[in-house]
Amino acid sequence: MCGICGWIGLDAAAQFDVTHVERMRRVLDHRGPDDSGSRVEDFAAEGRTGRVGLGHARLSIIDLAGGHQPLSNEDGSLWIVFNGEVYNFLELRTALVGRGHVFRTRTDTEVILHLYEEKGVECLGDLRGMFAFALWDARQRRLFLARDRVGKKPLVYRSEPGRLLFASEIKSLLQAPGVGRELCPEALHHYLTYGYVPHPLTMFRGIEKLPPGHFLLWNDGSARIEEYWRPPFRCAPRRTEAEYAERLRDLLTEAVRLRLISDVPLGAFLSGGIDSSIVVGLMSRLSNAPVKTFAIGFEEKRYDELAYARQVAEHFGTEHKEFVVRPNAVEIIPELVWHYDEPFADSSAIPTYYVSQITRRHVTVALTGDAGDEGFAGYPRHKAVKLGQWYDGLPGFLRRRLGGAAWEKLPASVEYRTFRRRLRRLFEAMNLPPRERYVRWCAIFDDGRKAALYAPEFAAALDGQRSSEVFECEYDKVRGLDFLAQTTFVDYMRYLPDDLLVKVDIAGMAHGLECRAPFLDHRLIEFIGEIPTDLKLRGFTSKYLLRRAFGDMLPPAILRRPKMGFGVPISDWFRGELKEYVRQVLLDPATLRRGYFLPATVERLVDEHVEGRWDHGYRLWALLMFELWHRSFLDGAEAPTGAQKG
């Protein structure tokens, strides 16, 4: 795990030196506190002068002494800066040595260089892991950027006439001369729906994310982007249930085994849910020593899972440590804003930040259970999708009686998590087309609420853009599958890389912690794409096949427990200890004068929530994170001291 950055330009755009690259690199030191390096090289291109610069901040995991970057091949014609892990690098290295390649280090980074020598950009097909890298090919005068298949590792860039800048985090690009800070209205519009900015957009106009499973080639002043992989969800010949379970167990066990390769101590996040419990169970079986596990909880019992995590830890005999998050978490909000670079409304970033912090005190690598829900239809919204499929098969007169306005007569519940609130939210959207229905269930602010929120000038600037189009373009790629299978594909393409993986990567790397997710092994994902949905969601039992495949390994109470979710008591905090804080920030006259939102609507949301008339906790959190981001990144405020130090 590391931070990478760099710059390539022609003619006037090549007027930079190593001090510019170092400035970009320094703000990434939290990602790589163990070592750093930079390189600048001149080149000629069709009679034009050019210059390329590479910067690297290293978190040492493999070959602690020999992995300094930027790293070159034998003759210096190739240079690379790399962030991530190639889990099959030992297998690849052995094959490369057998074909005559000579290695100077024991790193997985050098494996990429030698693979590229043989295959060029096709080397990506051989890599099994999480990665983002930039490789300078002096012979072809081209820069090769690539991001892993599912987007575990971030990579952002800015393409301009004659130059390209890239980095692991946006804040690095902002250190380069000539990079402005202008808000992207479309990004804000989508953020208010989903709670994150979907790729390739960022909240900064002119800065983009390289999508997962894509590479970028820059040559002679122009950039070209291509997709090299996407989750291959497809209809396949059906196997027996036992065959699916056996294959699943074999693939996940192998994925965990590969992720135990490390020259530094490692452990695991443990929530007490099925996914992280399976990972910890497999680690225990594959390890010679007790696994170190780390869990987070809350004083509010509705959100606390520590008892479940403790039960799993005792079952597998792990060395277990716990931490309780309290409302004074507001103290770390400026740190979160600085580290995430964009507004990020997933409030579970708070406990993820804390659990990463305490985990890093004991280990450098942590395995997680991330992506089990996406792969095996584990979210409550997946059950809602199945219910929607049933609903769509009813006669029209029944649908009219059950859906839409009929549920507006149900007495409102002011609490977000109550059954009555969820039931009303479910059926209010039932008469929408399935795709729009799913967006509505995922939305923080739906279309109606955004229309009531936006100032007229800001609404006009959006020119009728619909946030549902973000999901619809992914649905179009898998039209031949049943709708639940299509929806889990959309989760892989959007929610995972833009929310869940961003949350974990940024929170972990803020503390120099590498997080590895066995459920994101691409060979496992390719198998998951063939599993029929009735083996993922059997009736209304989620993760059916996962429970069957690992039923003999987990405590029965863990197998039976319903999904709790990594929720945060934001709503409670905004009516209690943080009540004055949310008023102070969102109702500040300077906030209300920005021109994006109608002041009366913001005031109403705050008043209704604080006075207990409605639960707007997640909406207020989204607005709060946007405002604090605006102050930090657009208003010229300085980053918090702790964040600057990394």
In the numeric block, which tokens belong to residue 344? 């990020």
Write out the two tokens for 389: 């499929």
Q: From the candidates 2, 5, 184, 442, which is the catalytic residue? A: 2
User: Residue 516 corresponds to which tokens in the numbers above?
Assistant: 């590895």
DSSP state of 183: B
What are the structure tokens assigned to 445, written together? 């602010």
Hey, CA dihedral for 314, 316, 321, 323, is it positive or negative? negative
Environment class of 461 (CB within 10 Å of its CB; exposed 0-12, middle 13-18, buried 19+): middle
CB 198 within 8 A of CB 190: yes
Active site residue 2: yes
- Spell 173-203 as b/e; 16+ CB within 10 A means b: bbbbeebeeebbbbbbbbbbbbbbbbbebbb
Q: Are 273 and 518 in contact (CB under 8 A)?
A: no
The answer for residues whose C-beta is within 8 angstroms of residue 61's C-beta and 6 or more apart is: 1, 85, 262, 263, 264, 364, 365, 514
Report angle CA 254, 258, 263 to the nearest 5 degrees.
Answer: 155
CA 234 from centroid of its chain's CA atoms: 24
DSSP annotation string for 484-526: HHHHHHHIIIIIIIIIIHHHHHHHHHTTT-EEE-GGG-HHHHH
Residues 135 and 113 sit within 8 Å (Cβ to Cβ): yes
- d(C-alpha 577, C-alpha 629), whole Å: 22
Secondary structure class of 330 (helix, strand, coil): helix
Which position has the token pair 């991530």?
A: 84
Q: Print burial letters for 567-576: b (CB count within 10 Å at least 16), e (below 16).
A: bbbbbbbbbe
Look at residue 81 and give its three-state secondary structure.
Answer: strand
Q: Which residues participate in catalysis according to the annotation?
A: 2
